[in-house]
Amino acid sequence: MSAFAELHSRLPSLAEAETRTITTVGHAALPDDTYAFAEAFCIERDCDCRRAFINVYARRMRDLVATLGYGWESRTFYRNWMGADLPEVDDMVGVTLPPGTIQSELSPHLARVFEDLVRDDSEYRGRIKRHYQQFKAVPGESFAEELTVDECRAELEDLDLTPKMKWFEKRPKGCDSAAALLDLRADSVRDWDRALLDASLESLYARR
């Protein structure tokens, strides 16, 4: 799977202004909270997968509570893109919970909420597609040029990862890849890892 990076890694002002959030009060399945649907796109220069990962952050819980896949093209498009009618094609279409990504007990409910949003709100659907094109148009590193997870970890340990630190203003080169961030999030419970997540949340909600 190609590496994905969140929109604000290349276009922070756009992401701060246009990241979709919802606030729940008395929802049947979701705790009262504000949830940010942060878009992430493939960083491979020559890839036109027309797909996004949606990392859902809960403000009050201060956690990444779901990772959604969203492919807005038809099954025929993804079959042609993959070059064969493979079982994986079905995982590319529509809203999914991609295997191997961070999930919680809230994930299925957030997937349904997001599915309703993109189904009923044509402006939001169009916004995600526009963000995909804007993200791809910004020069950035391909997966092959990124630092490894171990290299990211070494650089992270040298940073002052206090809760007030703006992670996305100080991130080391290469460490904005979704693959590296998810690996760091999953395999470590060290204090700086929690501080990284806290700082990411602060950046997402800086203007909200």
Tell me if 201 sits within 8 A of 165, measured CB to CB: no
pLDDT at position 19 is 94
Count of residues making up the chain: 208
- Pick 89 or 183 by higher pLDDT: 89
The predicted-structure confidence for 193-207, as pLDDT tens digits, reads as follows: 455 455 556 656 554
3 state DSSP class of 148 = coil
CA pair distance 130, 116, nearest whole angstrom: 19
C-beta separation of 205 from 36 below 8 A: yes
Q: What local confidence, expressed as pLDDT, does residue 161 receive?
A: 41
Q: Count Cβ atoms below 10 Å from residue 87 Cβ, excluding itself.
A: 6
Which is nearest to 136 in space by CA: 5, 58, 30, 45?
45
Residue 147: HSE in the Cβ half-sphere, 13 Å Cα cutoff: 18
- List Cα–Cα distances, 53 to 41, 73, 100, 189, in angstroms: 6, 14, 13, 24
Q: What is the pLDDT of residues 16-74, one digit of tens each?
A: 899 999 999 999 999 999 999 999 999 887 889 999 999 999 999 888 999 999 999 99
Residue 9: per-residue pLDDT = 87
β-pairing, 33-42 with 63-71? unpaired
pLDDT tens digits along 120-157: 999 999 999 999 999 999 876 554 445 555 555 555 55
Mean pLDDT of 177-192: 41
pTM of the full structure: 0.71
- Beta carbons of 21 and 35 less than 8 angstroms apart: yes
Largest CA distance in the chain: 48
